[in-house]
Chain A
Amino acid sequence: MACGLVASNLNLKPGECLRVRGEVAPEAKSFVLNLGKDNNNLCLHFNPRFNAHGDTNTIVCNSKDGGAWGAEHREPAFPFQPGSVVEICISFDQTDLTITLPDGHQFKFPNRLSLEAINYLAADGDFKIKCMAFE
C-alpha cells in the first residue's frame, strides 16, 4: 500500500463533521482512513476491505491507543466499489464516532480514546483524497 495524504492540526471539534471525498482505485483491495491525535493514537481506523487479510467486502474499524490496537469491529454494510468516487462523513462526540457511508448508511464506533479534538487524518491504500471539508 502506498502511503497517502497525511493532514495534521485539523482541530476538528465534537459536533463538527469531516467530509472526505476521493477516488477508489480500479483494482482496489483495501483502503484506510485513520483519524485521531497522531499515528499512534487513533480514535478511528476505518478500513474497507474489498479483498484483503482474508476479508471480502467488509469494513473493519479499530482504534489505536499509545501504539496498541484495540478490538476490531466489523461492519457488514459495504457500499463501495473499485473505480468509483465515494464520500464518507465522520462526526464525533465524547462517546462515539458516527460514520456515514456513501449510501447514507450510518453506524457508530466508540470514541475509546475520549479525544476532545481530532487533529490528524491519514489516508492509505487504494484511495486518493480529492476533497475534504470540515463543517
Chain B
Amino acid sequence: AKFEMTNLEMKVGQTLKLKGKIETNIDSFAINLGQGADELGLHFNPRFNESIIVCNSKGGGSWGREQRDDHMCFSQGSEVKLTVTFQSDEFKVTLPDGYQLTFPNRLGHSHLSYLNVRGLHISSFKMD
C-alpha cells in the first residue's frame, strides 16, 4: 500500500523533507508530487533494475517524456533522506549524497496538494 497525502498545501518556494527506509525486494521506488494521482508535476522514480533515476510528469492521466539521470545512489533496504524544493519553474531534488537533480515544472503548478510514496517506508515528513 502506498503512503498518500492530500490537501498538502505546498507552495512555490517550499521544501519537502522526507526520511524513510527503502523496501527490500523491489525493482524501484517512487515519490509523486502534484495535484492528484493523474496530475503529477514530479514523478521521481529510482529504478534498481535499470540502475537509473527516471523523472517524469503526468498531465490528464498521460505520462510526459521521461528524463533519465544515471546518478543512481540508492540501495534497497537503506535509510535515506531526500528533499524536494518546489520552485515556479522547476523541482529540485537533493539526493542523500548531496547530488541535486532538477526537473521542469511542466504543468505550471503554483501549489501542490498531493503526495504519494511507493516502495519507501516513510519515517518522517517535514515541510518548510
Chain A interface residues (CB < 8 Å from chain B):
3-11, 119, 128-135
Contact of A130 among B1, B4, B127 (CB under 8 A): B127
A130-B126, A131-B126 in contact; A9/B2 too (CB < 8 A)? yes
Contact of A7 among B4, B9, B123, B124 (CB under 8 A): B4
| B124 CB contacts on chain A under 8 angstroms | 131-134
Q: Would you call B122 and A134 a contact (CB within 8 A)? A: yes
Interface residues on B, range: 10 to 19
Most buried by A among B1, B5, B124: B5
Question: Which residue on A lies nearest to B121, using beta carbons?
Answer: A11
A11-B1, A134-B124 in contact; A128/B9 too (CB < 8 A)? yes
Q: Would you call A6 and B123 a contact (CB within 8 A)? A: no
Q: Would you call B2 and A131 a contact (CB within 8 A)? A: no
Contact of A4 among B4, B7, B125, B128 (CB under 8 A): B7
| 1/0 contact string of B89-113 vs chain A (CB within 8 Å) | 0000000000000000000000000
